[in-house]
Amino acid sequence: MRIPCPFCGSRDSREFVYRGDAAPARPTDGGLGADGEPMFDYVYLRDNPIGELEEFWYHAQGCRNWLRVVRDTRSHMISAAVLGAGHATGGQA
């Protein structure tokens, strides 16, 4: 599979580290509700959808930037790859 990095061009997926679904939002209160359930849900309860999914990928063996990649989980076809919003560039995670 090849991932189109906005900085490096089309690169082999082995240069990247998959970091998961980009949709879940971290609990704003730290997930420390009365029973910690919001944080538990955020960390452990994930869907496994069929079709397009927006994911985080880290270009570890390249420009060291975070990317938001839209990938079809059936065919692994990538329809978009942009700089990951909310993440630092230049190797700072």
* Residue 37: per-residue pLDDT: 81
* Residue 64: per-residue pLDDT: 95
Q: In the numeric block, which tokens belong to residue 69?
A: 């990649």
Question: Rounded to whole angstroms, how far apart are CA atoms 65 and 57?
Answer: 9
Query: Would 63 be classed as within a structural domain?
Result: yes
Number of domains in the chain: 1
Is the predicted pLDDT of residue 48 greater than 60, yes or no?
yes
Burial of 67 (0-12, 13-18, 19+ CB in 10 A): buried
Amino acid of residue 12: D
* Residue 93: per-residue pLDDT: 40
Query: Would 39 be classed as within a structural domain?
Result: yes
Query: Would 91 be classed as within a structural domain?
Result: no
Q: What's the rounded mean pLDDT across residues 3-23?
A: 93
Query: Would 32 be classed as within a structural domain?
Result: yes
Query: Would 88 be classed as within a structural domain?
Result: no
Q: What is the DSSP letter of 26?
A: P
Higher-confidence residue of 72 and 93: namely 72
Query: Would 93 be classed as within a structural domain?
Result: no
CA atoms within a 13 Å half-sphere pointing along the CA-CB vector of 73:
11
Query: Would 92 be classed as within a structural domain?
Result: no
Range of the domain at 8: 2-83
Instruction: Report the CATH number that the domain containing residue 32 is assigned in CATH.
Output: 3.30.2270.10
pTM recorded for the entire structure? 0.75
Let me know: does 7 contact 63? Beta carbons within 8 Å: yes
Q: What's the rounded mean pLDDT across residues 3-32?
A: 87
